[in-house]
Amino acid sequence: MLMGTSTDEATSFAMLDRYLDAGGSFVDTANCYAWWPAPGNTGGESETVLGRRLARGRRDQVFLATKGGAWVTDPDRWRGSGEATRYSGAGAGTLRRELDESLRRLGTDHVDLYYVHVDDPATPLEETLEALAGLVAAGKIRHLGWSNVRTWRLERVRTS
């Protein structure tokens, strides 16, 4: 989460290498990691550092997960404010754009798992699901997930 911000690149690379050398394989990040540690952090730093390390090899050893829908457009406004953060949401165009940006930062043509990071009740569930189905069909996503969602909403997602 803090790779590229509080954790510098060299340390991040070493941590990832030790993890993979020990047999780990699941690597989870998000497009918004990590906008909150300090002024100047905007999000995408973790994906960028992971992408630079994976470009040196080992992508085939990693089950790579990332998330979209929680991008913060004005992090300096929300950092430390205590107010509810405004997220980008799970609209079709947002998810397509954010995934493409994540793939660019990660230096890969697909992720193994893509989560909707924050539930977005303002966007029709059908719109979100159709966009995700299109991204799966395009080969950009292998598996889908949802985080930060209430159980009743997740059941609705599951049965849609």
Q: Domain containing 123 — which CATH number?
A: 3.20.20.100
Q: From residue 47, how far is each of 12, 107, 112, 121 by CA, in Å?
A: 11, 9, 14, 26
Residue 33 annotated as catalytic: yes
For residue 148, what pLDDT band results from cuts at 50, 70 and 90? Answer: confident
Residue in the structure block whose two tokens are 């992971």: 50
Residue 151 in this model has a pLDDT that exceeds 90 = no
**Whole-structure pTM value:** 0.92
Sheet holding 141-146, edge to edge: 26-28, 63-68, 111-116, 141-146
Residue with tokens 């209430």: 150
Residue 64's pLDDT is what?
A: 98
Can you list the positions of beta strands (E) in the chain?
26-28, 63-68, 111-116, 141-146
Orientation angle between helical segments 45-54 and 9-21, nearest 10 degrees: 60
* Domain contains 3: no
The answer on pLDDT for 80 being more than 80 is no
The answer to whether residue 1 sits within a structural domain is no
User: Residue 59 is part of which domain span?
Assistant: 9-159
| Of 33, 87, 114, 115, catalytic | 33
Q: What's the pLDDT at 153?
A: 79
Structural domain total, the chain = 1
d(CA 44, CA 93): 18
